[in-house]
A = this chain, B = another copy of it.
Amino acid sequence: MDDAVPPAAAPQRRARQPRQATTERRAEILRAAAHTFGSKGYKNGSLAEVAEQVGITHAGVLHHFGSKEQLLVEVLEFRDKEDVRDLEGQHIPDGIELFQHLVRTARMNVDRRGIVQGYTVLTGESVTEDHPARGWVTNRFTVLRGEIQAAIMEVGGGDVPQDVAAQAASAIIGVMDGLQVQWLLDDSVDLPAATKFAIEAILTAALLGTGRPHPLV
């Protein structure tokens, strides 16, 4: 967009690095956008609301990000980076530690309602037609499932069939997300307890195989 009408002589001056304040400014806007998209959704959240939180106009936001959709994309990338940074160099744990990590995350999420809401709203919205976050959400699920499935098979020491591990991995992610929705709507749902209970139940079933005392259907 910047080079829509380039002069004949291409200036050799490359864009020097942005002012030192700019990077932080953009991060502020991204945080504001994450908040707005989180509480109102992407479609229903407006650029004006995002802009107001950092004290500029909506056109100022567009100056930095070009379009609303690009802003969303960068919010998602930003969050990925922050998530990684929070892990502080620690690789995502594997084996049994992964499940402990998931339960710990559920406990932490009780004090991060805004973030949980943002994730929930965006995930729900992403299943609508041509939603710009669809690819990101789908990919996130795919990656997570792969990691959890691998951890299950590692813990099981080769005794867990691949499809069982895959179903269990999907179920663990599903129960975490589904419980978050219920908790957001009704505080009486005990998010950490129910999450821990369900993950243990699913993991146990995957490891013990099909010898269940109460098979259905």
Hey, which bits of chain A sit against chain B, CB under 8 A?
A: 39-41, 43-44, 96, 99-100, 103-104, 117, 120-121, 123-129, 134, 137-138, 141-142, 145, 155, 163-164, 166-168, 170-171, 173-179, 181-182, 184-186, 189-190, 193-208, 212-217
B residues in contact with A103, CB < 8 Å = 216-217
Chain B residues positioned under 8 Å from A194 (CB to CB): 166-168, 170-171, 174
Q: List 25 A-B contacts (CB under 8 A).
A: A39-B128, A41-B43, A41-B128, A44-B128, A117-B127, A117-B128, A120-B127, A121-B124, A121-B125, A124-B124, A125-B125, A167-B193, A168-B198, A171-B194, A173-B182, A174-B176, A174-B179, A175-B175, A197-B205, A198-B198, A200-B205, A200-B212, A201-B204, A204-B204, A207-B213
Report which of B39, B198, B214 forms a contact with A174, defined as CB distance below 8 A: B198
Which residue of B43, B44, B167, B196 is within 8 Å of A216 (Cβ)? B196
| Distance to closest chain B CB from A185 (angstroms) | 5
A184–B129 alpha-carbon span in the complex (Å): 11
Q: In the bound complex, how far is the Cα of B176 from the Cα of A189, in angstroms?
A: 16
Q: Given contacts A40-B128, A121-B128, A179-B171, is CB(A216)–CB(B200) below 8 Å?
A: yes
Q: Is the CB of A182 within 8 A of B190?
A: no
Do B125 and A41 have beta carbons less than 8 Å apart?
A: yes
Residues of chain B lying within 8 A (CB to CB) of residue A145: 182
Contacts of A168 in B (CB 8 A): 194, 197-198, 201
Instruction: Kindly report which residue of chain B lies nearest to residue A170, judged by CB atoms.
Output: B194
A129 near B40 (CB under 8 angstroms)?
A: yes
> Measured between C-beta atoms, what is the minimum distance from A132 to chain B in Å?
13
